[in-house]
């Protein structure tokens, strides 16, 4: 049976403050836990139903991971989901160092103030699909260990390195030293389909409502635009794409060129 302190510990991890203090976060769901256990992330505890442990008895769970059998009712008490799954894990927050040599020869997504957890999680999933290994975020981007981000990333969080850093300083240093091209999508950029795209670079995405913040636009070396094919029959045209959708269209076009 779950103790009150166990319940309050796990539910506290829905808040960033406690995740930061304890340096752990929660991950839920069968598929997500398969991806977690196949990754280098350290799993402290797994809370799951008897049914789950029986069904997944072939899964390699490290001996250092504490396995706790719970009922569905107990799981509901600690879950961040409205419809809890059979399993919830408490996972250590990893610490990554930005490897500049890795960034030099690859594509990297850079996020400026993406506050919606669902969009952020979807972007992590997109990066994973398109073989992007690093995402570099402004500190005001959502926390990647927020349960909603973890959920929306569908296990991709365990394969991608997410970094938080002071973006103006980071991009300034890049433009002075490494000179990795910085692609920004803006409403007045060059049509992406007729632009020259390099095989390495930073793909900088800003928030849907405010775009890339002005402080950062000066570091953009190539300004891109995804053309709209709306025919203007209507008085009002669509003014933007969802930020995750735009990220996907841009990443797909970079990868198409290299295929």
How far apart are the C-alpha atoms of 108 and 128, rounded to whole Å?
A: 11
Restricting to residues 178-217, which ones interact with a second copy according to CB under 8 A?
Answer: 191, 193
Q: Is 125 in the site for a second copy (CB under 8 A)?
A: yes
Nearer CB in complex with a second copy: 122/141 = 122
Nearer CB in complex with a second copy: 5/40 = 40
Pairing state between β 201-205 and 222-225:
unpaired
How far apart are the C-alpha atoms of 221 and 190, rounded to whole Å?
A: 12
Nearer CB in complex with a second copy: 131/139 = 131
Q: Is 161 in the site for a second copy (CB under 8 A)?
A: no
CA–CA distances in Å: residue 68 to residues 77, 90, 148, 233: 14, 11, 23, 60
Nearer CB in complex with a second copy: 73/209 = 209
Considering the complex, what minimum distance in angstroms separates the CB of residue 161 from a second copy? 12
Structure tokens at 197: 């795209």
Backbone angles phi, psi at 95, to 5 degrees: -120, 125
Restricting to residues 228-257, which ones interact with a second copy according to CB under 8 A?
Answer: 228-231, 234-236, 238, 240-242, 244-245, 248-249, 252-253, 255-256
Angle between helices 243-258 and 117-129 (to 10 degrees): 10
Nearer CB in complex with a second copy: 1/236 = 236
Beta strand extents in 56-175 (DSSP E only): 66-69, 87-92, 107-111, 134-137, 161-164
Longest CA pairwise span in the chain (Å): 63
Considering the complex, what minimum distance in angstroms separates the CB of residue 230 from a second copy? 5
| Interaction site with a second copy (CB under 8 A) | 34-35, 38-39, 118, 122, 125-126, 128-131, 152, 154-156, 159, 191, 193, 226-231, 234-236, 238, 240-242, 244-245, 248-249, 252-253, 255-256, 258-259
């Amino acid at each position: 049976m779950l103790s009150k302190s166990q319940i309050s510990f796990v539910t506290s991890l829905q808040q960033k403050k406690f995740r930061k203090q304890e340096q752990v976060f929660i991950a839920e769901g069968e598929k997500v836990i398969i991806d977690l256990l196949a990754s280098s992330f350290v799993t402290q505890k797994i809370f799951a139903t008897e049914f789950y442990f029986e069904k997944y008895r072939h899964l390699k769970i490290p001996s250092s991971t504490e396995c706790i059998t719970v009922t569905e009712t107990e799981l509901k008490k600690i879950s961040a989901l409205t419809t809890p799954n059979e399993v919830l894990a408490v996972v250590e927050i990893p610490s990554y160092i930005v490897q500049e040599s890795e960034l030099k020869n690859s594509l990297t997504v850079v996020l400026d103030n993406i506050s919606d957890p669902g969009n952020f999680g979807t972007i992590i999933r997109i990066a994973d699909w398109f073989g992007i290994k690093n995402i570099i975020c402004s500190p005001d981007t959502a926390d990647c260990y927020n349960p909603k981000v973890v959920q929306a990333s569908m296990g991709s969080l365990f394969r991608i390195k997410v970094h938080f850093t002071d973006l103006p300083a980071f991009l300034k240093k890049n433009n002075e030293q490494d000179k990795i091209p910085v692609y920004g999508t803006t409403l007045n950029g060059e049509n992406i389909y007729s632009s020259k795209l390099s095989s390495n670079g930073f793909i900088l995405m800003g928030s849907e409502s405010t775009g890339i913040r002005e402080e950062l636009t000066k570091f953009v070396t190539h300004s891109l635009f995804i053309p709209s094919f709306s025919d203007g029959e209507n008085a009002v045209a669509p003014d933007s794409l969802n930020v995750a959708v735009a990220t996907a269209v841009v990443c797909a076009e970079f990868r198409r060129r290299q295929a």
